[in-house]
């Protein structure tokens, strides 16, 4: 079980990193460029810290699933990822919109980006950690 859990952590981390690049580095990049005054320049961004945050979030995501979901399967992983994604996406997207002067399109992008990432993570986690 520990090996499958570590595999799930690595797989989710890689998936999130790839999806982050697609979502933020490609799809949302025009919005970031149009609001450049809100963000640190790329050379001031702390990439090691960003990856550390992603790793901690990944470990917590997988451990919560392992510790609290009794019947683990692809469908329970997708449900878990969807619920986690809705909660996190609303908080990150629309919660941030309430106090950061970002365009509504960016808030919507963050919401759907987080939702997609967490559904994918749930599918990976549910598949790799299914109850045998």
Report pLDDT digits (tens) over 17-70: 999 999 999 999 999 999 999 999 989 999 999 999 999 999 999 999 999 999
Report whether 113 contacts 24 (CB < 8 A).
Answer: yes
Q: CA-to-CA distance for 107 and 130, rounded, in angstroms?
A: 34
List of residues 6+ apart from 93 with CB closer than 8 A: 107, 108, 109, 110, 111, 112, 114
The string of pLDDT tens digits covering residues 1-13 is 889 999 999 999 9
**Separation CA 77–CA 94 (nearest Å):** 25
CB-based contacts of 118: which residues, under 8 Å, 6+ apart? 61, 81, 82, 84, 85, 88, 89
CB 70 within 8 A of CB 86: no
CA-based nearest residue to 80, from 110, 120, 109, 108: 120
How do the domains of the chain map onto residue ranges? 2-37+45-128
Judged against a pLDDT cut of 80, whether residue 132 lies above it is answered with no
pLDDT of residue 89: 96
Predicted structure pTM score: 0.93
- How confident is the model over 91-105, as pLDDT tens digits? 999 999 999 999 999
């Amino acid at each position: 079980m520990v090996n499958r859990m570590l595999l799930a952590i690595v797989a989710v981390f890689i998936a999130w990193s790839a999806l982050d690049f697609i979502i933020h580095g490609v799809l949302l990049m025009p919005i970031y460029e149009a609001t450049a005054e809100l963000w640190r320049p790329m050379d001031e961004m702390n990439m090691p810290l960003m990856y550390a945050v992603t790793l901690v979030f990944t470990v917590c995501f997988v451990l919560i699933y392992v510790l609290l979901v009794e019947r683990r399967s692809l469908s329970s992983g997708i449900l878990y990822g969807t619920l986690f994604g809705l909660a996190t996406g609303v908080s990150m997207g629309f919660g941030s919109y309430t106090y950061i002067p970002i365009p509504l399109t960016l808030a919507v992008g963050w919401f759907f980006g987080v939702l997609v990432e967490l559904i994918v993570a749930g599918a990976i986690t549910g598949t790799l950690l299914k109850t045998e």
